[in-house]
Amino acid sequence: MFAKFFRPKWQSNKADVRIRAISTLLAEQPDQLEILARLAQTDQSPDVRKAAVARLHKPELLLRVMATEQDPSIRHVATDHLCKLVASDESNLSPEQQLSCIQNIQDQDLLTHIALHTGKAALQQAAVLRVRAESNLEVLTLNAQSAQMRRLAAERLESEAVLERVGRQMRQRDKAVYRVTRDKLQQLREHSRAQDALQADRLERVERMEQLAAGELMPLYGARIDALSQEWLKLETSPDTLEERFQQALMTCQQRAAEMQAQADAKAQQQQRRNAYKEQSTELLQQLDDIEQRSREALTDARLDSAALGDELSAWQQQWNALAHAEFADDSNSSEAPRKALARIQGNADSAQALSRAQADLQRLLGQPVEDASPAVLRKQQQRIHQLLQKVNWPQALPLPDALKLAQQRLQAIEARHKALQEQEQGLAQTLREQLDRLEQAIGEGHVKEAGKCHERAAQALEMLNGNTVAPLELRFKQLHAQLQELKDWQGYAVTPKKEQLCADMEALVNSPLEVTELAESIRRLQQQWKLLDSTDPFHAQALWRRFKQASDLAYAPCEAYFQAQGERRRENLVQRGVICDQLESYIASIDWNQADWSAIDTISRAAKDEWKQYSPVDRGPGKQAQERFNQLLQQLDGPLHEHYHACLEFKRDLVDQLAELCAAEDPQAAAQQAKALQQDWKDAGKTFRSQEHRLWKQFRAHCDTLFSRLGDSQQRGRELRAEQRETAEQICRQLEQLLASPCSRAQLEQILPRCISDFCELEEDFSTPYLRRFDDARQQLERQRADLAQLQDSTAFAALRQRIELCDTLETQLLTEQPDAAILEQLRAHWDTLESCSSEYAELIEQRFALAQQVQQEPGLLPELTDAAGLRLRQLCIQLEIALGLSSPEDDQALRLEYQMQRLQQALEQHSEAVTTADLQRLEYEWRCVPMAQRHPALVQRFYQPLEGLL
């Protein structure tokens, strides 16, 4: 009952007591802050809530009060307090908390107030990005202190009226904001024109669908409906009369397409029956082919059953006759093919029966001999075998059975035997003639030995002919035999003196003072002469031969001792080479390849090769075996050595590469320390192939020189680098500003701008910061120019515009010929309808050009008038270009230029205040290409495009 006397004062029933209690609460303590928040949101007294709100310092609590409070005065207090927390420079909130608070604020006026009065750029930007109301954005655009904030607010404006109002007020105050509003207005107007173009496209699609609904049916009717429906779906749609017309026409087209599909289905069913007939007939023909194939296989294997084959053919014939040949007479398979197949099958059966009957006769004939038979018997066998083969009449496509194969082989053997007998007789007769010719020649030349050989061969050939010799050949042989006997009698008297002279010459060499090698060569030469002379001696006197042989042995005695000494030396060399091989084997076996002394291995290998060369010559046979053994041992020794050299070579190449990379290192001091370590690694690596190591050492030494030279020059280069950095930044900014001063080509922008950005980003921050603002302004303007120019040259809309311009050029060229081709003109007109929509900015101009060309096609008399009007417009465009580029106009166009300047004075002043960009020139060039009949004014074409050379 006393509890009410101990309640806290902030729970008092009196509002003034609660207000005084609020002043004593500490907002820094969480529990008391919770009390303040509860009072600010739930207390019944407005004064108490206002006092509690004034003590809150948490933005989220103030935002909650602003969202739930109905009393405007309390919301004002909360708003004012929150604005101080967020926008004040003396706020206790961190930047992250301030940004988070701004993200939660919905009050547009509060956000506008924060953006206008806070001094922090990040808070200004966050507040501007949260403002959505056009009126608040207008206030920010007109009153923001920062040019960046004004531009940011202007970029968020969407109302055309506000944009026009802001643009008028900011034209002279802020050119950047004015350009933003001008571009936004242009975008809005382009959007409006795009909507008009969209409606035109929708109307065109509706009319095409209605034409399909009312027109004649055609191939691909359904595909055309689907394609047009897809085009309609790609367009932005709205529930209007065009949508209703399109859907009604689409429904009609779909009904017509359904009727057309029903007719197609009926045809398809007819085609299905036709296909079924084709399949059945094809299947039966395949069955007939299978029957034929099986009959051929059975015939080949000698197991053909003629009765079963006949039953199978009868069943097949019934199925074939059951087909509806009359209904599909035009598609039925030819009856000639089944007839031929049936004939082939019957022939197979007949051949099988004939072969069975002829089997016994064939066996009897094949059992008769061929080799020993006379030609008459062979001819009778051949005739009988031919008769049996004709009766069998075996199919040519089938392999022959064994009996017929043997019969064919017997025919071939008989034929070969006939041919061999004839060739043998002809060969023997020819051999006899050749031997008689050689015998006659040898007798005439006095070669007794050769004549004797020819006589023997001729006698053998005469004997083998066995009485079948031609009489003149036998008579000739007898005559030459008598001549040979006479020659032998005279030959013996001529050879004997020559042999005696050879014996005397050989005896003269006994105890001769000649060198051993010369003596051996003289003996060999006399022996060769003796052999040649003895070959022509028909008597071969043994006494002279023994005399010549005794003298040869005595003369050769000194040579034999010499050659024995040479043989002993070769054997000794072979022994020494064996010793070398044994030593190499022992050395190789003792090597520990994991810890090999590669220098010693290289020395041993070189010494072994040198000693091997010293022990030469050796006998050919044993020397070859020793050489092979030595080569294998060297391979065992040099193989690992070369692998080690290769490893060292690769390691040193890697050292050279590492040192080359160090030459490009940014820190010369650290690179020099690493280079010293690499030098030590080079020394520790060991030797490798001398020539390659010398080349690598040159590279290694050159890299070291370069690196240590860099180390010495690093301080001087540092000073020079700082000066170069400042000069580079100045040059980059100056180069970008020069690009802004006058129009430049897109290629120049694409080439210079990225390079300048890259070069500027590579500069150290200490040297680039003073130039950053100047660089960013120029860069942003150039990037906008590049984006604008890319839009004009690469976008789909302007690509479609160029296609339409090229089509108009082709159309006008065709119209200006003496006899235009009507077919080509019609193709161009049809192609025009298929082109995609072009940029709305020039859509009306290019459509007008195309329409004028079509009008000239229908009324050729309009061409002179149209040419004059086009010439005037082209001169005006030339003047616009010359004014934009600061060029003078021809004297004849000075009055026209002055008139144009007076008419467009305000625009000319604006253009004078802003630099002309390449995008402006591109737009002017598009406008030029939308003028009809420009090709009839070549002088104006040259005048217009000559200043643009290199820019577009």
Alpha-carbon gap, residue 430 to 82, rounded angstroms = 135
Q: Give backbone dihedrals phi and psi of 120, rounded to 5 degrees, phi first.
A: -100, 125
Residue 547: both structure tokens together: 């005399």
pLDDT greater than 50 at residue 913: no
Phi, psi of 825 (to 5 degrees): -60, -40
Which of 90-99, 203-212, 638-647, 872-881 is predicted least confidently? 90-99
pLDDT digits (tens, 9 = 90+) for 97-125: 667 776 777 777 777 777 777 777 776 67
What pLDDT shows up at residue 5? Answer: 34
In a domain, 749, yes or no: no
Q: Which of 10-24, 255-269, 879-893 has the highest mean pLDDT?
A: 879-893
Q: Is residue 71 part of a domain?
A: yes
| Residue percentage of the chain with pLDDT more than 90 | 1
- Do 309 and 345 contact (CB within 8 A), yes or no? yes
- Tell whether 251 and 107 lie within a shared domain: no
- Assigned token pair, 832: 């025009």
**99 to each of 127, 137, 727, how far by Cα in Å?**
9, 19, 40
718 near 675, Cβ under 8 Å? Answer: no
Task: Report pLDDT for 562.
Answer: 73
Q: Are residues 112 and 236 in the same domain?
A: no
Q: Do 639 and 623 meet the contact criterion of CB atoms below 8 Å apart?
A: no
Instruction: Taking residues 668-683, report their average pLDDT.
Output: 75
Q: What is the pLDDT of residue 756?
A: 83
* Distance, CA of 885 to CA of 948 (rounded, Å): 10
- Whether residue 911 is predicted with pLDDT greater than 50 in this model: the reply is no
Mean pLDDT, the chain, whole residue set: 75
Residue that is last in its domain, among 250, 275, 300: 275
Which range among 261-270, 569-578, 711-720 shows the weakest confidence by mean pLDDT? 711-720
- Residue 6's pLDDT is what? 42
pLDDT one-digit tens code per residue, 874-883: 988 898 888 8
pLDDT at residue 931 in the model: 92
Please say if the pLDDT value at position 4 is more than 50.
no
429 SS3 class: helix
- Shared-domain flag, residues 442 and 515: no
Domain-located, residue 588: yes
Distance CA 507, CA 515 (A): 17
- Give pLDDT, residue 404: 66
Would you say residue 812 lies in a domain?
Answer: yes
3-state helix, strand, coil in the chain (%, to 5): 80, 0, 20
Q: Where are the alpha helices (DSSP H) in 446-470?
A: 448-465
Of residues 404 and 798, more confidence is placed in 798
In a domain, 412, yes or no: no
Q: Is 629 exposed, middle or buried (0-12, 13-18, 19+ CB in 10 A)?
A: middle
Question: Do 845 and 905 fall into the same domain?
Answer: yes
Closest listed residue to residue 618, CA positions, set 661, 575, 564, 574: 574
The enclosing domain of 181 has a CATH number of: 1.25.10
Is residue 491 scored above 60 in pLDDT? no
What tokens does 820 get? 């235009």
Backbone phi, psi, residue 536, to 5°: -100, 0
Residue 501 has pLDDT above 70, yes or no: yes
Residues 582 and 699 both lie in one domain: no
Residue 94 domain boundaries: 3-191
Cis preceding linkage at 617, omega within 30: yes
Per-residue pLDDT tens over the stretch 424-467: 666 767 776 777 777 677 767 666 667 677 777 777 776 766 55
In this structure, the chain runs to a length of 952
**How does DSSP classify residue 439?**
H
Which of 5-19, 696-710, 816-830 bottoms out in mean pLDDT, i.e. has the lowest? Answer: 5-19
Quote the pTM value. Answer: 0.31
Query: In this structure, are 431 and 473 located in the same domain?
Result: yes
733-739 own/partner pairs: CB under 8 Å, 24+ apart: 733/771, 733/774, 733/775, 733/778, 736/775, 736/778, 736/779, 736/782, 737/778, 739/778, 739/782
Q: Are residues 825 and 897 in the same domain?
A: yes
Shared-domain flag, residues 237 and 286: no
Task: Output phi, psi for 937, to 5 deg.
Answer: -125, 70
Q: pLDDT digit string (tens) for 545-578?
A: 787 777 777 777 777 777 777 777 878 887 887 8
- 372 lies in a domain? no
Selection from 168, 166, 169, 171 nearest residue 156 by Cα: 166
Q: Is residue 616 part of a domain?
A: yes
For the cut 60, the answer to whether the pLDDT of residue 912 exceeds it is: no
Do 35 and 25 contact (CB within 8 A), yes or no?
A: yes
Alpha-carbon span 598 to 593, nearest angstrom: 9
Band of pLDDT at residue 865, cut at 50, 70 and 90: confident
Give per-residue pLDDT as tens, 809-824: 888 888 888 788 888 8
Number of H helices, E strands in the chain: 37, 0
List, in sequence order, the alpha helices (H) in 535-619.
Answer: 542-590, 598-614
Claim to verify: residue 601 and residue 633 sit in the same structural domain? yes
Q: pLDDT, tens digit, for every residue of 569-628? A: 878 887 887 888 888 888 888 888 777 777 787 888 888 888 888 887 887 788 788 888
The DSSP output letter for 510 is T
Query: Whole-angstrom Cα distance, residue 894 to residue 735?
Result: 35
Which of 883, 915, 886 lies closest to 899, judged by CA? 883
Q: Which letter does DSSP use for residue 551 in this model?
A: H
> 279-336: per-residue pLDDT in tens?
877 777 787 777 767 776 666 666 666 677 777 777 777 777 777 666 666 654 556 7
Residue 507: the pLDDT is 77
* Residue 384, helix vs strand vs coil: helix
99 and 147 share one domain: yes
157/30 same-domain check: yes
**Per-residue pLDDT tens over the stretch 163-192:** 778 777 777 777 787 787 888 788 888 888
Interval 46-86: pLDDT, tens:
777 767 767 676 676 666 776 677 777 776 676 766 676 66
Residue type, 637: L
Which among 796, 816, 807, 800 is positioned nearest to 867, based on CA atoms? 816
Given a contact cutoff of 8 angstroms between Cβ atoms, the answer to whether 121 and 77 are in contact is no
For the packed helices 471-508 and 542-590, what is the interaxial angle rounded to 10 degrees? 70
Q: Which of 231, 253, 275 is the last residue of a domain?
A: 275
Are the beta carbons of 583 and 637 closer than 8 angstroms?
no
Per-residue model confidence (pLDDT) at position 324: 62
- Single out the residue in 714, 729, 744 at which a domain terminates: 729
Closest CA to 882 of 898, 859, 903: 898
Lowest mean pLDDT among 204-208, 354-358, 500-504: 354-358
Instruction: Dihedral sign for Cα 5, 11, 17, 22, please.
Output: positive
Q: In total, how many domains does the chain have? A: 8
Residue 392 inside a domain? The answer is no
Shared domain for 255 and 282, answered yes or no, is no
